[in-house]
Structure 1
Amino acid sequence: MQLHHIEAFLAVAEELHFGRAAERLHVAQPPLSRTIKQLERDLGAHLFERTTRSVRLTSAGEALLDPARQALESCRAARRAVQSAGRGETGRVRMGFAGPSSHLLVGQLGRLVRERLPGIELSLQSTTYAAEGLRSVMDGSLDLAIVRWTVEPPAIAHRIVTVEHYVLVVPKGHRLAGRNLVSMAECRDEAFVALPADPGSSLRDAFTRAAHDAGYPPNIVQTAPDSWTVMALVAAGVGITFTVDVAVVNVTQDGITVVPLKEGRTPTYSRLAWRKGDTNPALHEVLGASEEALPTPDLPNGVH
């Protein structure tokens, strides 16, 4: 049984007239009669009682009526789903991010996608650090990621969504608390709390690079899986931490003080990144929404 068999059967069953059914299907009556006879042979049963004056459904035809309608509607629903996906009206976009610095961005984008693109599922994956996120975008296991980098990777399209500055976070009462500006050189003897080296946090990389540029390997006494835990450890006096100002804004934690960092006067940037040439229509709809939800901030000349 094929789709054209079902369409022919339903047209005759609903019109109870081969001529009108043929007109409805925009075919000649003889091919329609042959299609019905072929269907009856395939099913091994007569579906219609025909006389010169009337056409009636047999009991077998009555039994086929509801399943045929359901089958036809399923085919139409499948066609609509494919067409909607092709237009970007439905689909799934997988997005990776990590840390409180990204949560506000993700919330803003998620809200707009829900309002404007209800047929698209924005599937979120947290604790996706920069290197891991970029690998996942490039290998196709993620469609989008919010990341930082110092060297632009190949095959990645991107747009800056946040301007950030590196800062120190210290316990209240710490010797550096209240300072207007501190350099990494002054932190040579400090104990640090940091994100893990794996799976590739750009913030951890920036921290160790800044310490080495100041002439020492940092004394990391404790690692933590996320910025919330890092801040709690700092508040408890375990050590100080190197982070970005946006991360601190989005963490509620008593007992800590933010200190501007000399090495943070040059800004760093969070970017929305995706594969160049990705043809997923749903992704392009989400990228369009991101232009409004996460607009590109004002940037210095030459930064893009």
Structure 2
Amino acid sequence: MEIRWLEAFIAVAEELHFGRAATRLRLAQSPLSQTIRKLEKDLGVKLFDRSTRSVALTPAGQAFLPHAHRVFEDLELGRQSTRATEGEVYGTVSIGFSGALNHRTLPPLTRAVRQRYPEVTLSLTGRVVTRDGIEQLEQGGLDIAFVGLPVPPSKVRTRLIGREPLGVALPSDHPLAGEPEIALADLSGDGFITTPADAGSSLQESTLQACVKAGFRPRVVQEITDPYMILTLVSAGVGVAVMPSGIAEIMPSAAVFVPLRGEPVHMDHALAWREDNPSHVLRAVLALAEEVLPTPAP
């Protein structure tokens, strides 16, 4: 087994497309396919189910992926150990985040890392919802993920970094747009825009819980993964959306944020990571995160 075989496997596993993986590796597609076949022959298992329209990991491929990631993590740790001197931190940390929901938490952390550890490379991946973030952490594809709480029991550890009351984003011409606050039940007849129900998004779960608590189930008219695109669709008059209060700072034109009346329903934001991740860069970034993103008081 060769390192380049593992690199090819990871690229195809992450892209689930031989053409994109070949472009990423700067290879022709035919040599990439041959490399995957060599790896499968060496392992004695089929790693991918291929058809003319799709590529998917087999159960064996899913089981092998975190180990392939770990090989490259160990190589990176070895590389870092040859360069690091006392008091200095080198290397890469990969961070997944959803987008607009993290506009209060991601920038302070990335700025602090760049200032304190200029030799650390940040690899940032957007549109990562909670379930996807947890899965990528478990498989070794991410070092840190910004997630919403709660998360299912797993090997992943979390720390609360923010708690925001929920409100609603309304088109600026909505009849209730000028109110200082509204009851969520007043929107029971409106269409709602949410993240996809099957995406494992904390925002979608928070929306459903808040509406059920208000006495109705939301009528979803549009699902979309990107939180800022949800706001854009609100401003276009497609529907309304339940959002954490911090979104009020970045509302697009033709949309407004209105707080909810009554006992607040909160969305909890957290950092997530694997405790058994051996990266010293991760430990340095997590320690820095405790300084710039402290756990909020109860």
Larger displacement relative to structure 2 (154-163 or 127-136): 154-163
Aligned residue runs from structure 1 range 255-270, under 5 A: 255-262=254-261, 265-270=264-269
Letter paired with 1:89: V
CA offsets 1:188-228 (integer angstroms, 9 cap, x no match): 21111222224221101111232234443311112233122
Change (3 A) 1:216 1:252: closer
Partner residue of 1:245? 245
> Could you say what secondary structure the match of 2:270 adopts?
strand
Partner residue of 1:210? 210
- Structure 2 regions of 5+ residues with no counterpart? 1-76
Partner residue of 1:126? 126
Letter paired with 1:136: Q
Change (3 A) 1:79 1:124: closer
Change (3 A) 1:81 1:284: closer
Residue pair 2:169, 2:240 contacting (<8 A) in 1 also: yes
Letter paired with 1:276: E
- Equivalents in 1 of 2:79, 2:99: separation in Å? 39
The Cα of 1:80 is off from its aligned counterpart by 7.8
Aligned residue runs from structure 1 range 75-86, under 5 A: 81-84=80-83
Q: Which has the larger radius of gyration?
A: 1
- Equivalents in 1 of 2:171, 2:147: separation in Å? 28
The Cα of 1:185 is off from its aligned counterpart by 2.4
Count matched residues: 221
> Could you say what secondary structure the match of 1:248 adopts?
helix
CA offsets 1:60-103 (integer angstroms, 9 cap, x no match): xxxxxxxxxxxxxxxxxx98843445977212111100021213
Residue pair 2:163, 2:267 contacting (<8 A) in 1 also: yes
Residue pair 1:165, 1:264 contacting (<8 A) in 2 also: no
Larger displacement relative to structure 2 (87-96 or 278-287): 87-96
Q: Could you state the TM-score of these two structures normalised by the residue count of structure 1? A: 0.65
Partner residue of 2:56? none
Residue pair 2:98, 2:126 contacting (<8 A) in 1 also: yes
Residue pair 1:85, 1:91 contacting (<8 A) in 2 also: no
- Structure 1 regions of 5+ residues with no counterpart? 1-77
Residue pair 1:170, 1:239 contacting (<8 A) in 2 also: yes
- Equivalents in 2 of 1:80, 1:135: separation in Å? 26
CA offsets 1:31-87 (integer angstroms, 9 cap, x no match): xxxxxxxxxxxxxxxxxxxxxxxxxxxxxxxxxxxxxxxxxxxxxxx9884344597
> Could you say what secondary structure the match of 2:92 adopts?
strand
Residue pair 2:148, 2:270 contacting (<8 A) in 1 also: yes
Partner residue of 2:173? 173
- Equivalents in 2 of 1:80, 1:142: separation in Å? 19
- Equivalents in 2 of 1:186, 1:83: separation in Å? 62
- Equivalents in 1 of 2:108, 2:165: separation in Å? 21
Partner residue of 1:191? 191
Q: Could you state the TM-score of these two structures normalised by the residue count of structure 2? A: 0.67
Larger displacement relative to structure 2 (157-166 or 263-272): 263-272
Change (3 A) 1:201 1:179: same
> Could you say what secondary structure the match of 2:113 adopts?
helix
Aligned residue runs from structure 1 range 130-149, under 5 A: 130-149=130-149
Letter paired with 1:279: P
Letter paired with 1:287: L
Change (3 A) 1:216 1:81: closer
> Could you say what secondary structure the match of 1:186 adopts?
helix
Change (3 A) 1:140 1:85: farther
Partner residue of 1:17? none
The Cα of 1:252 is off from its aligned counterpart by 4.2
The Cα of 1:149 is off from its aligned counterpart by 1.6
Change (3 A) 1:180 1:220: same
> Could you say what secondary structure the match of 1:148 adopts?
strand
- Equivalents in 2 of 1:157, 1:296: separation in Å? 14
Residue pair 2:248, 2:256 contacting (<8 A) in 1 also: no
Letter paired with 1:120: V
